[in-house]
Structure 1
């Protein structure tokens, strides 16, 4: 069983990679530039295409789209949120997710052909839920809402191919992105997310779920 995780050099991605390896899984961790890791910059289409070519013919049982950015936490409505920041967030948090999935679809289909039940896990956020509107962080919220919508629609199209899709909220986690005041430790989030992803089936494809198993309104 081969698991591929984007953004696996730190935080949640690294935690998931470490835990799955401890459980005996073959894990491919990607990062933009990190010794010993598979090179991948999800903001660069050519980098994503190159990854797909390097992995040609290798089944992937689980694809975790974890790489993401949050850069607008301090922007103000009156004079913040410049256009280039919108472009950066959507390139990484949405387009990068889609292109990575697209590039690795042959690998996921190979897992089906080999009798497996492959799955895609998209790390989004409850801040992308319309039911959780709280103001601020407009770009991050919009990009995570788009990632949620992407996952929901992929679940429809990939169900007949035997590939399940889950969208997950990792919690407010004490990482470089989440900050030191976060409510959930990396260890708690990783343990919960791994459990949710491991248990994902076609019967639940398209789910939007928190790290602790709670369903989140869209």
Structure 2
């Protein structure tokens, strides 16, 4: 629908989309390496902002008097399946070599698999008549004192979260507790266990 509205055929739309993505990647690289933001491209910035003009004139030269260049002083290393598609024109524009390591296409997938293992368990503590009830999943236990009920809920939720993380493949998970009031004489406790997956352990 969009390409019909613009009067473009599919190939033209694909070409324009690729050009926009290339421009965005170049801008991100330059801003990241220089540590300086670049103003958005508009008629005012092209006339008044030197940084914007320098960037555009380096990659899309239009000035009839001055030539400018931005060159990357190191190779560009690409990972992820789209790297071989999107990065060659980036490397050419920056005047550098593109390096695609062995198995580059699945590098991001390995990172996703190797992410942290996270497990949670929630507990609630509330007043029922003259006793406090600590409930963790299907387990309920009654206490006469609120501090005892809260301590039980914290310990039980933490243990369950850790057990879930370990069963899920975490190595030495770290457990944190978040405790908040949940209305009058009621508290909600959330235990969160986080650890590296077993495949990363030595």
Q: TM-score, normalised by structure 1?
A: 0.22
Q: TM-score, normalised by structure 2?
A: 0.23
If asked which structure has higher relative contact order (CA below 8 Å, sep 6+), I would say 1
Structure of higher CA gyration radius: 2
Choose between structure 1 and 2: higher strand proportion. 2
